[in-house]
Amino acid sequence: MQLRLTRKLISAALLSSAIAASPVFAAESGAGLSSAEQGNYLLELKRLYLTENERQALLAHCNDLLKTYALRAAYQVGQAQRQDRLYQVREGEPGELLLREEVRGQQGTNLAVRNQRVALFGVDPFVRYECPSSGVSCVLHNPNDGSPLLSIVRDHQGAAELAKALSFLIRNLQKG
């Protein structure tokens, strides 16, 4: 239910921004993310999360996406060690992203928490992801070294949206 509602809100917000800016997109197609596209995306997020602060809107959006596409034990049918994987991002020191990973066993009794600092100065802000067809999860990669950063449920659209939001967040945090 939450997944469907979040998708509808995101789709509606992005669709309205795409319709409003369609002449700009036609003129700049194939050029990566334009400043007009970035501006429209951030404007829609600020409107969606009722804030004037881009960073707060990006953090809230990333955390909502991480909740929506969390890899839950219920999705891991047929695996021996089924676990919930929950993530949360927040701002650290200037140029740093803090990632909190919470892993719960299927019974909910075992809990492991890991905090990771991701240094962002001097790295490519584009977050890459892959969703192998043989698995139940998508993996988003660390922009520093390409190592796995986090895992979400296997959903190409969700992984693409989360990668985009994290990329914009990284750009914002690199400003200091």
Q: How much is the average pLDDT of 122-139?
A: 93
Q: How much is the average pLDDT of 121-145?
A: 93
Q: How much is the average pLDDT of 18-28?
A: 36
Residue of 165, 161, 175 lying closest to 7 (CA atoms):
161
Query: Given the structure tokens 């969606």, which residue do they identify?
Result: 48
Q: How much is the average pLDDT of 73-102?
A: 86
Q: What is the reported pLDDT for 26?
A: 32
**CA of 5: how far to CAs of 2, 8, 34, 105, in Å?**
5, 5, 28, 27
Can you spell out the DSSP letters for the chain? Answer: -HHHHHHHHHHHHHHHHHHHTHHHHHHTTTSSS-HHHHHHHHHHHHHHTT-S-HHHHHHHHHHHHHHHTBB-GGG-TT-SS-EEEEEEEEE-STTEEEEEEEEEETTS--EEEEEEEEE-TTS--PPPEE--TTSSEEEEEPTTT--EEEEEES-HHHHHHHHHHHHHHHHHHHT-
Name the least confident of 59-63, 69-73, 84-88, 117-121.
69-73
Calculate what percentage of the chain has a pLDDT beyond 90: 61
Structure confidence by residue, pLDDT tens digits, 62-80: 999 999 999 887 766 666 6
Structure token digits, residue 115: 């905090």
Q: What is the reported pLDDT for 63?
A: 98
Rounded distance between C-alpha atoms, residue 128 and residue 159, angstroms: 9
Query: Given the structure tokens 């140029």, which residue do they identify?
Result: 95
**Beta strands 111-119; 137-141: pairing state:** unpaired
Structure token digits, residue 74: 């219920």
